[in-house]
Amino acid sequence: MTTIPIARYRPDVSSFQSDYTDQIMNVFCGSASYIPANSLSTFTDALPDMPLQAFTAKGSDSSINIFAGTATHLYKLNNTDLSWIDVSNGTYTATQEFPWSFASFGNFVIAVNPTSDPQVYEIGVDTVFRDLGGSPPRASVVRVWGDFVALMGLASNPGRVHWSGLNNAEFWTPGTQNCDYQDFPDGGSVQSSSEATNPIIFLQSAIYRATFVPGSVEIFTFQKIHDKRGAKSPSSVTSRGSYIFYCDEGGFYQITPDGSITPIGFEKVDKTIFGKLQSNSISRIVGVVDPFHSRVYWALDYTGSGIFDQIITYDWNIQEWTPVTANFFVIFPLLTVGYTLESLNSISASIEDLPFPLDSKAWQGGAPILGSMSADYRLAAFQGPNLEATLVTQEFGDPGGAVVRTTRVYTIVDAENVFVSIGQRFRRSDSVTWLPEQYPSYNTGQIRKRSRSRFHRFKVRIPAGETWTHMQGVDTEFASAGTR
């Protein structure tokens, strides 16, 4: 028997006699295997309109507060009955092109969009949002830089970033209390930034590093560290500590706090992803760093419909990619509320009908998970049953003309139900012909299937809802079949 590992996903390079494949779906990378990706399960009432962003904030009293914004209103989740409470300060005018941006600063939850005055909700004090004090400018993006709140993508001056007073989110008078602004002479509009005391700032075609200088007149100094490079999509910029990621016109990148850039998608997924995306979809790519795992997710809208239909996932420890199917409007880090048995009964009539298993982190108070606002406008989490997984080996064969015959295949996966099909072709210019799927023998776990060809690859499909933990590859038996 010959062991053929499931190759790493690199659709931009050849899969022939390499360690790579161009067909993987609905799994994540493990160090020596693939692991399942969970489906999206909803667990709240629906918002009355399409969600344009969502956010979780933990108060100083340890309370979990979940907010969502639509085109005209802001809402807060009722943690008891999982309904949405309107906490708007009038009517707003957000859009899909200019959605809400949220940040938390102490007990303040700040929400901005460029067509509305910045809003604030003080946890434990306010019952509805109100205008953020100090007359701050309207902005597309809000970020926290250590002890400052920073606004960027300003409606009045797109090339400017404006930060608040020191430890005062409601002071916006430049030249006092360390509040000030910075105009960038070139590079286009300010798109976004990392969240750090010394942040990386992304413009359309320039990248700056800001350094906080306590006690100085400048407050922050700004150094251009990259010219003619920037972030195509403001929402693609995402960070967790020193891990900072973004996408440009044609690729995915990681940048360190000192400004070193790594093209993490080059010769891996960049050509495939950006070759399929429509131009307007590139500017809408949304990036989120997993609140627990070493992964960053970018939500993609291939069809241009406004609904994200795929997530491309990068694990920075393993430095590999996988795609996951999706169907949602918003993706964001979610902190969950602890639930009692009584509150579970308000969600579902029976334990069997709960959206997540009882051991899921979704039921643990304050547990960080990946959240979403689904296509039916409800809060959801990627904690449901396993998605249907498809994994294909690299293609192998003898370009010199040798023909081989497969006789047996054994899958290296701890799943009870699994299906295998064999792809074959005699010439590299031919299309791959896939033989019908087969189910392994109950007694031996093997699939007896004969396939005579020069080039072979194997496809493993694990049905949706199947319980499994690791998929490593296939063992297969070959026999020589002469030459052709």
**pLDDT tens-place string over residues 30-76:** 988 999 999 999 989 999 999 999 999 999 998 999 999 999 999 99
Please, what CATH class does the domain formed by 41-381 belong to? mainly beta
> Residue 429 contacts by C-beta under 8 Å, 6 or more apart in sequence?
none
CA distance 452 to 438: 17
Check pLDDT > 90 for residue 112: yes
Please, which pLDDT band fits residue 147 given cuts at 50, 70 and 90? very high
Ranges for all domains in the chain classified under CATH 2.60.120 = 2-37+389-483
Of residues 448, 411, 404, the one with CA closest to residue 425: 404
CA distance 418 to 420: 7
Tell me the backbone φ, ψ of residue 43, rounded to 5 degrees: -150, 20
CA distance 308 to 314: 17
CB 151 within 8 A of CB 105: no
Of residues 101, 110, 98, 159, the one with CA closest to residue 136: 110
CA distance 392 to 20: 10
Ranges for all domains in the chain classified under CATH 2.130.10.10 = 41-381
**How many CA atoms does the CB half-sphere of 134 hold within 13 Å?**
23
Tell me the backbone φ, ψ of residue 353, rounded to 5 degrees: -95, 5
The per-residue pLDDT for 483 is: 59
**What type of residue is 273?**
I
Please write the tens of the pLDDT for every residue from 338-387. 554 455 555 554 445 555 554 555 555 556 789 999 999 999 999 899 99
More confident residue, 335 or 182: 182
Mean pLDDT along residues 446-457: 82
Of residues 30, 15, 22, 39, the one with CA closest to residue 320: 30
Exposed (0-12), middle (13-18) or buried (19+): which is 227, by Cβ within 10 Å? exposed
Please write the tens of the pLDDT for every residue from 364-376. 555 678 999 999 9
Distances 36 to 39, 158, 208, 234, 358 between C-alpha atoms, Å? 10, 42, 38, 30, 18
Q: Which residue has the tokens 């409606």?
A: 155
Buried b (16+ CB within 10 A) or exposed e, 68-106: bbbbebbbbbebeebebeebbbeebebeeebbbbbbbbe
Please, what CATH class does the domain formed by 2-37+389-483 belong to? mainly beta
CB 297 within 8 A of CB 370: yes
CA distance 282 to 250: 9
CA dihedral 282, 284, 288, 294 (to 10 degrees): -10
Please, which pLDDT band fits residue 133 given cuts at 50, 70 and 90? very high
**What type of residue is 114?**
P
Output DSSP code: residue 165. B
Q: Which residues pair with 206 in a beta bridge?
A: 227
Of the chain, the end-to-end C-alpha distance in Å amounts to: 24
The per-residue pLDDT for 397 is: 80
Please write the tens of the pLDDT for every residue from 185-237. 999 999 999 999 999 999 999 999 999 999 898 999 999 999 999 999 999 99
Sign of CA dihedral 104, 53, 292, 163: negative
CB 335 within 8 A of CB 58: yes
> Residue 413 contacts by C-beta under 8 Å, 6 or more apart in sequence?
460, 462, 468, 470, 471, 472
CA distance 233 to 254: 15
